[in-house]
Amino acid sequence: MPVNCVFFLLVISSLLFAAAPQTISRDMSKRVLFANPDIKTDYSPLMAEKNSRADSLLPALNGDMALAELLSRNPNLWSVENLRKENKISTNLKVNIIYVDGIREEAFCDFSKTADAKNWELTIGVDFVSGSSNVAGAHVQQCIDQARDEIGYAIQDSSGNTLVVPPKAVLQDIEKSKIPDAIPIDLQMQLLKAHRSVELTGECPSDIEAYIILLNVWEQVGSIEMDLPAISDVLSGESIKSCAFNREWNKKYSETATFRCNSNDICEYNQSQDGKTLWSWNAYDNRLEYERKKILFFSYGKKSIHNGGTMLDLRIIPLSTRLFLESYLNIKGEPVSLGLIIIGEGG
């Protein structure tokens, strides 16, 4: 066989291989399907022009047939990668598929018409013509994931409430700030706002919402076991403040403080207004118990609720690298007073 013919056959074989239909190889177990996506299709002007000049050697593209074949190979095409283990996404998805002439123009992704995370409108240019047509499905899903990263999306929680998952950069800030995963995303967002406020000003959060949400936060993390050595290590070396909000008087309170524990798990909590108090660690019941003051061998002053007194128990739970939940508990372990301990300047 002549050398030129061999070369021609090799070129044709490589083109056929490149254009062979392929399924998306990404892990579909991490994706969540959109419910009832609204899909519309059209041809770009260049693609419409090419179709108008079709002949037996260059047949017209039937875009809808090509898209149907793509969907048959990839039934999870209209899905988004799962970032937070959601089982159901409630974002309304509207997609305008534009069939493009991949020889003369590039595939594209445009979500500039999307106003919020609950309602997406994407315009996706899909190439079923050139050698890049074998990655058309991956292009569609990359566009969907890009919209998720930059806009956020909506989910339903276990109670059927709609929650907005923020853009990926915000999720990364939540992770970097070490806000507990056990807290729902809406509360995580509010804690991140308070965290950023403390980070910026070094003062107690000025937004009263940071205090109003604390009971809801407690319901999610209140039973988490205190890591007293770690908490003591963080708080003892920092400039901290105790922050609270009185709903009855609609007034915020703050005072500078120090918190240190010794090797015997006795902790000294010194607040600029409330003074110095001592607390002993009860690891079994996950709480700090008030210790009476002593002169020599004689105890005096207020008593713990476990000794017939009124001094409540204390539990401290990290909410971020700068926020700690300060919980004063009654004899039943229920929160009577909730506030924040913040790491201000130098944290």
SS3 118: coil
Q: What pLDDT does 29 receive? A: 63
Q: What pLDDT does 20 receive? A: 43
Q: Which residue has the tokens 């305008």?
A: 96
Give a three-class secondary structure readout of 209-260: HHHHCHHHHHHHHCCCCCCHHHHHHHHHCCCEEEEEEECCCCEEEEEEEEEE
Write the CATH number of the domain with boundaries 173-343.
2.40.128
The closest alpha carbon to 206, from 243, 232, 162, belongs to: 243
Distance CA(145)–CA(150), nearest Å, equals 9
**pTM of the entire predicted model:** 0.82
Q: Spell out the per-residue pLDDT of the chain, length 347, in tens.
A: 443 443 333 333 333 333 444 455 455 567 889 999 999 999 999 999 999 998 767 889 999 999 999 999 999 999 998 777 766 889 999 999 999 999 999 999 999 999 899 999 999 999 999 887 789 999 999 999 999 999 999 988 777 888 899 999 999 999 999 999 999 999 999 999 999 999 999 999 999 999 999 999 999 999 999 999 999 999 997 789 999 998 877 788 999 999 999 999 999 999 999 899 999 999 999 999 999 877 767 777 789 999 999 999 999 999 999 999 999 999 999 999 999 999 986 54
**58's tokens:** 């260059």
SS3 5: helix
Angle at 151 between CA 189 and CA 114, to 5 degrees: 135
Distance CA(315)–CA(283), nearest Å, equals 11
Q: Which residue has the tokens 């039934």?
A: 75
**130's tokens:** 């050139």
Distance CA(195)–CA(186), nearest Å, equals 14
**324 touches 241 (CB < 8 A):** no
Alpha-carbon distance values, 72 to 24, 66, 75, 265 (Å): 12, 10, 6, 64
**290 touches 311 (CB < 8 A):** yes
Alpha-carbon distance values, 190 to 27, 148, 245, 320, 342 (Å): 32, 20, 16, 12, 15
Would you list the domain boundaries of the chain? 3-156, 173-343
Q: What pLDDT does 159 receive? A: 78
Angle at 246 between CA 243 and CA 252, to 5 degrees: 45
**142's tokens:** 């990359």
